[in-house]
Structures are given as C-alpha cells and as structure tokens.
Amino acid sequence: MAPTRKYMKAAGMIAGATCLCLTAAGCSSGGGPASTQTKGVTIKATMAGDPPPKAALDAFTKKTGIKVNWTTVDWDSLQTKISAAATAKTYFADVTDVDWSRVGQLGKLDWFYPMEKYLNTKKMAKDMPQMDSFTLDGHVIGIPEDASFMVTTVNKKLFAKAGIKKMPTTIGDYTKDLKQIKSKGVVKYPLNIPFAAAEGLSTYWYQTTGAFGGTILDGKGRPQFTSPDSAGYKAAQWMISALKNGLVRPGSINVADSEGQQTLMAKGTAATTFSDYSGNVGSLYNIPKSSTVTNQVEYIPTPGATGVAPNLNNPDGVGIPKKAKYPNAAAKFIKWLTSAKKEADFAGANGKDKVQPGYFVPSRLSAMKELTNSGHLDQGKKLSDMLESSTKPVFPQGAPSWYPEFSQAVYTNLHAAATGSKTASAAIKAMSEKAKQLASGS
C-alpha cells in the first residue's frame, strides 16, 4: 500500500530528525569534570531560603570573581531535587542545602564533598555548636547555616490568666499547668502538638523523648524506646494522652508543625508548644501582621523529667554536591556565607538593607551574640545560652542512612495512635520493629 509506506517514510524522517537534534544537543553541552577554577566562574546555589541582598552578593563577586546564581526552591521540593540528582548522579547545583536528618543517607551515597577538604572545619566547629549534626564517620558534609533547635515556648499572658506565675521546670509541673489552664477555661486546648503524619511529628517526639531523659537509638541504631519505662515510650504516651485528655485540639490530627504554630500559637488559641522552632518568637509570634500574641510568648528552658532538659538540634547546613562544576569556588562561597560577619548582617544586626529575608538565627555563636547585644534578636540571650550549652544532636553518631524510612514509621504510627486506629503500645511496638529491621540491614 503505497500511501502507507509514504507516510511511514515521513514519520521515519521526523523521528530521525528528532534523534539528530537530540544527539547534536547532547554533544554540544555535556557536563565536563569538576574545575578547581574560582575566578570568573558562575556557581549555582539552590537553597530553601531567599537569597542575601543583591548588594552583598555583588560585593562577594567583586572580591572573589565568583558570580552566584541563587535559586530558591521550597524545602520539601528541594529534598526531592537532591534525591533525584544524587541517585541519577547529575549536576544540578554547586552549593545546596544539607538537612541534618539526611546526613546518613546522602553521606552513604557519597553525594557531598567532605568540607574539611576545603575549610578549616575544626576551627569553625568551635563557633558552630551544631557542626556535629553534620559529621559522619569523621567527615563534615555540611556547614551549619542557621541554628535551628527545638525549644519550649509559652504564652505568658495565658499562663498568668490561669494563675501561673512561675514557669514549669519539670514535665510533671508542665502537665499540671496545662490541666490548670484548661480547667480555668483560659483556652480550651492549651497544648499544641502537630499530629499530622509528617516529619514535624517525629521531631516533636524526639524532643519530648530527650525531655524524658532518653535517646531514640543507640550507637548501633537499635531502638531505645521499647520498654514501657523508657523515655521514648513515656514521651509517646504523654503526647497521645494529652490529645485523648483534651489538652490538645482534636483537629490537630491534621495539623502540621508550622501550621500549628501559625494558626494556633500565633492566634492565642494554644498556650504553649513543647517542641517549637528556635526563632519563632522573633520571626512569627512578635510580628503583628501574622500574630495576635505579640510580646506574650517566651522561650523557657525545656522542662525535663527532673529538671532542665536538652534542646535537640534541627539545623540546615550547606554543602557541595560531588557533581558540582566548581567545588573550590563553591567552598569559597560557603565560607563567606557562613562567616560571622555575614551571618550577623543577614540576621539584621547591621541594618535592614543587609537582611536576608527569612534568616533569623545564625549558626555561629559569635554572630548570635553580636545580634543579641545589638538588640536585634528577640530573647536572643536565652537562645544563645541554649545554643551554647544545652543543644544536643538527635543522633550523636549522626543520622543513620535509613533515617527517612524510620522517621516515616515514627510519624505514621504516632498519628495512627492519635486517631485511635492503633493503641499507643501497638504504635510504639511497630516503630521499634521498624528500627530493629532497618538496623539489622534486612
């Protein structure tokens, strides 16, 4: 059939032409090997936050000859991008986010350059207490960029309304105060726990477990929360019974961490968040545009089983992917970005025009102190004291490579217990089974 053959020929030609285009494009722009060049190059920084002010970046370019192309991607999407690039072994940026929880996984994938190869990380660690959250097998794979850690926030006005003047120092007192606020009718549901099945629920439980005086996993990755008198077990039970006893709003089963802070804490419908983000007082609760509780919320030392408990680290860092085109230039940029001077500038110590939007709590103690002394960080003294003395990594040996899967088991099971589709003990059992299975590598 002649017409058919003619058509097929035409189709074949189109297909052939397409292939040709593809190959031509492929030849013209293949990714070359990494270059140690630092002058006259443009590096890509793909980050979860907004860029520093243009003037600052321009000054960096002028000083070093390195141009920076900064791309902002929201945090969740960025993690997907990093996973895709790391598994396809593809270049996508010279500098990008390293989250503490993925240090094990990305470290084992060998996706980030060891930073000690480029920077004096030993010296930096003295000013950056959270460096250990990015250290795996002696290698530093990310430099802490901000100092995020978990901290208890209380709405002092609501506590005072219930007749509570002295802030609780133990978790027993804390629970008693919550009940008092509820029974006095100050607010219906005093405690904010984000029970949505998402990472924020796991983080909340880690912090609560720390407060009860325990750890999640031991050095070999084995669960430490199996027995009913372990801290992790008690912490999970405390959270779930707070919901069952009406201390937490029933709708919280669908509220994620930031949503709870924005819609409950910042609106004064919850009186306290046991595991809140450091910096939220200045960045959220004291901002009249988004909050009705300005100047009411304060950080308090974490109430623990017997006294003050640690604050668990939850920081983001910056690192250089192995497929980076200009790793040396990237290292120079990271050094600049995380310098004490720039961190203080970006967080607002030296005038509004130097601020990097969304950047509140510097990773360097010295920058934090400068910011506090100049009066630019709300309750900065408390935060820098905590950062200096009471912050602690969730996993002292670094997050295991199977952390994401474990964390998912944690939050889906805690969520199931909260909704009542599982008992608390069945949920904890499922969590520990998962940890055992993952730790044994099967």
Contacts of other proteins in 140-199 (CB under 8 A): 196-198
Cα–Cα distance between 97 and 83 in angstroms, integer?
Answer: 12
In angstroms, give the least distance from the CB of 96 to other proteins. 10
Q: Token pair for residue 148?
A: 């995020």
DSSP secondary structure letters along 291-355? -S-TTTEEEEPPBBSSSB--EEB--EEEE-BTT-S-HHHHHHHHHHHTSHHHHHHHHTTT-GGGP
Interface with other proteins in residues 83-102 (CB under 8 A): 83-88, 90-93
Q: Token pair for residue 269?
A: 């419908």
In angstroms, give the least distance from the CB of 225 to other proteins. 20
In angstroms, give the least distance from the CB of 318 to other proteins. 14
Contacts of 150 (CB under 8 A, 6+ apart): 203, 204, 206, 207, 275, 276, 277, 278, 302, 311, 312, 314
Which residue, 27 or 375, has its beta carbon nearer to other proteins? 27
In angstroms, give the least distance from the CB of 81 to other proteins. 6
From 34, 44, 45, 148, select the one nearest 97 (Cα to Cα): 45
Q: Return the residue of 3, 33, 185, 375 that touches other proteins, per CB under 8 A.
A: 3
Interface with other proteins in residues 314-333 (CB under 8 A): 316
Is 231 a residue that touches other proteins (CB under 8 A)?
no
Which residue, 259 or 385, has its beta carbon nearer to other proteins? 259
Which residue, 116 or 405, has its beta carbon nearer to other proteins? 405
Which residue, 344 or 418, has its beta carbon nearer to other proteins? 418
Stated as kind and residue range, the H or E segment containing 132 is none
Applying CB under 8 A, the span of 128-136, 229-237, 239-247, 258-266 interacting with other proteins comes to 258-266
- The site for other proteins, by CB under 8 A, has a size of 89
- Tell me phi and psi for residue 204, to 5 degrees: -60, -45
Applying CB under 8 A, the span of 122-130, 255-263, 303-311, 327-335 interacting with other proteins comes to 255-263
Contacts of 360 (CB under 8 A, 6+ apart): 146, 279, 282, 283, 347, 377
Interface with other proteins in residues 106-125 (CB under 8 A): 108-109
Is 267 a residue that touches other proteins (CB under 8 A)?
yes
Cα–Cα distance between 18 and 141 in angstroms, integer?
Answer: 42
In angstroms, give the least distance from the CB of 437 to other proteins. 11
Which residue, 23 or 389, has its beta carbon nearer to other proteins? 23
Cα–Cα distance between 357 and 347 in angstroms, integer?
Answer: 8
Residue 390 Cα distances to 130, 144, 299, 301, angstroms:
11, 17, 13, 9
Interface with other proteins in residues 360-399 (CB under 8 A): none
In angstroms, give the least distance from the CB of 146 to other proteins. 9
Q: Return the residue of 38, 43, 46, 394 that touches other proteins, per CB under 8 A.
A: 46
Cα–Cα distance between 193 and 380 in angstroms, integer?
Answer: 25
Applying CB under 8 A, the span of 9-17, 165-173, 231-239, 340-348 interacting with other proteins comes to 9-17
Which residue, 290 or 374, has its beta carbon nearer to other proteins? 290
Which residue, 2 or 62, has its beta carbon nearer to other proteins? 2
Q: Token pair for residue 380?
A: 């900065």
Q: Return the residue of 169, 339, 350, 419 that touches other proteins, per CB under 8 A.
A: 419
Q: Return the residue of 66, 73, 236, 242 that touches other proteins, per CB under 8 A.
A: 73
Q: Return the residue of 203, 412, 417, 432 that touches other proteins, per CB under 8 A.
A: 412
In angstroms, give the least distance from the CB of 60 to other proteins. 16
Cα–Cα distance between 94 and 333 in angstroms, integer?
Answer: 10
Cα–Cα distance between 310 and 393 in angstroms, integer?
Answer: 10
Applying CB under 8 A, the span of 176-184, 229-237, 300-308, 414-422 interacting with other proteins comes to 414-422
Interface with other proteins in residues 330-359 (CB under 8 A): 357-358
Interface with other proteins in residues 278-297 (CB under 8 A): 279-280, 283-284, 289-290, 292
Cα dihedral 307→311→312→317 (10° resolution): -170
Q: Return the residue of 13, 17, 25, 426 that touches other proteins, per CB under 8 A.
A: 25
Cα–Cα distance between 181 and 168 in angstroms, integer?
Answer: 13
Is residue 442 helix, strand or coil? coil
DSSP secondary structure letters along 214-237? --SB-TTS-BS--STTSHHHHHHH
